[in-house]
């Protein structure tokens, strides 16, 4: 890769002593006379420096930018004297080799729960059919539950137009607000059964109503144990919620996820299905119509549902947490 293509001719610079500078040491300021159609050649050192720059935060470089574009990078590479000229397309081609996308970003929350691995690990074990190193029996069940809040009824001021040849469905942009409700759902992880109810708001009473809906029917009523995986929402938070629910159902075991770990709650997958198939586009004549659609979808979905193919295990969790531990302390505390 260090060989120079024969279509290039370099203009060597002269030092103050009158001696020509070595072209090998002078590559940051190369000026090339290219043959027609020839592509600029850059030494590997240049590629490495460009990739390193792309992996920096723009704010740390003193630039008033939140993200780099490939053209921003091209300008910085020239301004820093790394090369005399370079195109954004060339930089994109280099970054694409290592899937470096400085113009993209995603939201992230670093784990702050000191017992993150312990709490998340036991939930992952339940998904694998184990609890405290023992296999679950046929009369033990795992329920994943949560609330989807503030579901609006958007009443469009003009009717939605159906799909036609050469034209997609058209949904009126303007709408009137028809109110909002909360949708509470419980997903049987091993049996692919869904239970749910709607309520004007969330809270202890609505959540306990969902628990009652599940636990008062077979096979959960006679089960040896029913594990309920929940996050740390106010309606089922802490030891008080564990005691409250176990007083009502002696075979119920409430299992809390770590803080900010709803991505480990399988019912969130079901909620994503609901969002795509029921609530998008949001076009309902009333709030009652939203409730009807949600509850009818439960019955429809159960006919085709299968247990989710959950592949994230405790071992993978440990590997993921190991990458976090390698982050600087300031990043972990942010």
The mean predicted confidence, pLDDT, of the chain is: 87
Counting Cα atoms < 13 Å in the Cβ hemisphere of 214 gives 30
Contact 282, 160 (CB under 8 A): no
Does residue 20 register a pLDDT over 90?
A: no
Same domain, 40 and 62: yes
Same domain, 97 and 203: no
How does 121-158 read in b/e, with b if 16+ C-beta sit within 10 Å?
A: bbbbbbbeeebeeeebeeebbbbbbbbbeebbbbbbee
- Cα angle 187, 150, 257; round to 5: 40
Shared domain for 75 and 189, answered yes or no, is no
The answer to whether 207 touches 254, Cβ cutoff 8 Å, is no
- Sign of torsion, CA 221 226 232 238? positive
In a domain, 164, yes or no: no
Residues 274 and 176 in one domain: yes
Residue 16 backbone phi and psi in degrees, to 5: -60, -30
Q: How many domains does the chain have?
A: 2
Integer Cα distance of 258 and 229 in angstroms: 11
Res. 39 pLDDT band, cuts 50 70 90? low
Residue 21 lies in a domain: yes
Question: Given pLDDT bands bounded at 50, 70 and 90, which one contains residue 33?
Answer: low
101 and 123, same domain (yes or no): no
CB-based burial of residue 44 (10 Å sphere; 0-12 exposed, 13-18 middle, 19+ buried)? exposed
Q: Based on the fold, state whether residues 92 and 207 are members of the same structural domain.
A: no
Q: 333 lies in a domain?
A: no
Q: Which residue range forms the structural domain that includes residue 58? A: 1-106
Question: Are residues 110 and 334 in contact, defined by beta-carbon separation less than 8 angstroms?
Answer: yes
pTM, two decimal places: 0.77
Q: Are residues 49 and 126 in the same domain?
A: no
Domain holding 286: CATH number? Answer: 3.30.420.10
Residue 23 has pLDDT above 50, yes or no: no
Percent of the chain with pLDDT over 70: 85
Considering only residues 22 and 180, tell me which one the structure prediction assigns the higher pLDDT: 180
Task: Please tell me whether residues 130 and 186 are part of one structural domain.
Answer: yes
Give the count of alpha carbons within 13 A of 244, CB side only.
13
The answer on 309 and 199 residing in a single domain is yes
Q: Looking at 82, 106, 130, which one is the last position of a domain? A: 106
User: What integer is the mean pLDDT of 49-72?
Assistant: 94
- The average pLDDT across 253-271 equals 95
In a domain, 167, yes or no: no
Residue with tokens 């994503």: 272
Do 141 and 255 share a domain, yes or no?
A: yes
* Helix, strand, coil content of the chain in percent (nearest 5): 35, 20, 45
Task: Mark whether 5 and 48 lie in a shared domain.
Answer: yes
141-198 pLDDT, tens digit each: 999 999 999 999 999 999 999 999 999 999 999 999 999 999 999 999 999 999 999 9
């Amino acid at each position: 890769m260090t060989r120079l293509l024969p279509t290039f001719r370099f203009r060597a610079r002269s030092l103050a002593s009158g001696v020509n500078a070595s072209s090998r040491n002078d590559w940051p300021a190369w000026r090339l006379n290219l043959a027609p159609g020839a592509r600029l050649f850059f030494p590997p050192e240049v590629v490495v420096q460009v990739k390193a720059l792309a992996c920096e935060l723009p704010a740390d470089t003193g630039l008033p930018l939140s993200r780099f574009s490939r053209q921003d990078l091209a300008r910085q590479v020239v301004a820093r004297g790394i090369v005399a000229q370079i195109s954004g397309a060339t930089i994109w081609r280099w970054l694409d080799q290592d899937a470096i996308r400085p113009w993209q970003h995603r939201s992230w929350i670093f784990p702050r729960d000191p017992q993150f691995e312990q709490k998340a690990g036991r939930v992952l074990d339940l998904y694998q059919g184990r609890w405290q190193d023992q296999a679950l029996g046929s009369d033990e069940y795992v329920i994943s539950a949560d609330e989807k809040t503030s579901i609006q009824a958007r009443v469009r001021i003009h009717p939605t137009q159906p799909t036609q040849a050469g034209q997609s469905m058209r949904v009126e942009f303007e709408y009137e607000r028809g109110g909002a409700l909360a949708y509470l759902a419980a997903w049987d992880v091993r049996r692919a059964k869904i239970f749910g109810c709607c309520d004007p708001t969330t809270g202890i009473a609505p959540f306990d109503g969902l628990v009652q809906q599940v636990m008062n029917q077979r096979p959960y009523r006679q089960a040896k144990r029913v594990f309920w995986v929940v996050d740390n929402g106010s309606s089922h938070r802490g030891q008080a919620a564990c005691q409250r629910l176990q007083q009502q159902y002696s075979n119920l075991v409430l299992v809390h996820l770590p803080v900010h770990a709803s991505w480990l709650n399988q019912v969130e997958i079901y909620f994503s299905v609901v969002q795509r198939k029921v609530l998008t586009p949001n076009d309902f004549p009333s709030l009652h119509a939203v409730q009807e659609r949600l509850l009818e979808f439960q019955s429809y979905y159960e006919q085709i549902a299968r247990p989710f193919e959950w592949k994230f295990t405790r071992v993978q969790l440990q590997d993921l947490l190991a990458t976090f531990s390698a982050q600087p302390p300031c990043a972990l505390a942010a």
